[in-house]
Chain A
Amino acid sequence: EPEVTQTPSHQVTQMGQEVILRCVPISNHLYFYWYRQILGQKVEFLVSFYNNEISEKSEIFDDQFSVERPDGSNFTLKIRSTKLEDSAMYFCASLVGSVSDTQYFGPGTRLTVL
């Protein structure tokens, strides 16, 4: 069964550093998403991406965040200058795009900012 993959599984970085989280969505899917989950808290929507552009973003997704689909398979989330409060699990998800479709989540990247 096809699945969403994410790398790395765990990233440790120093405050102020840039990080890039990588995702490979399922190949025939058209909508791509990033969510985050701070430890012990709920899953929060960050951004949706369709047709090579951002279709919607949340208040969390400020200027320090950016997303890119540099080729036909990868979907990346960049955090330019990490803060302590960026420490969280980051989940990538994708779906085909039909009304009845469900999102498929990747296994997540645990980001730890020191």
Chain B
Amino acid sequence: QSALTQPPSASGSPGQSVTISCTGTSSDVGGYNYVSWYQQHPGKAPKLMIYEVSKRPSGVPDRFSGSKSGNTASLTVSGLQAEDEADYYCSSYAGSNNPYVFGTGTKVTVL
């Protein structure tokens, strides 16, 4: 099971939007509506930001949104704020034999 493909980096100025892609296959991203996104600040544990493609856990700002088309999922951060600067990872359910695969990670920089 190969890692999902994400761009290494993305950036935007405060108040702007940034979108991160997460490309997999029909065996993972394209096959299930179980894509999730995690935010990780340096030295910290990942934090769940989006689950089931587009749902936000309680407490996550609505500036974070998710979507999916075919084998590619996307995370959009609108109204960028300084605290959004972090690494972001996608993950997808991939079936009972090897349930979870993570993306390669994207470093978001707020200019």
Q: Tell me, yes or no, whether A binds B.
A: no
Task: Mark B residues whose CB is within 8 Å of A.
Answer: none
Task: Mark A residues whose CB is within 8 Å of B.
Answer: none
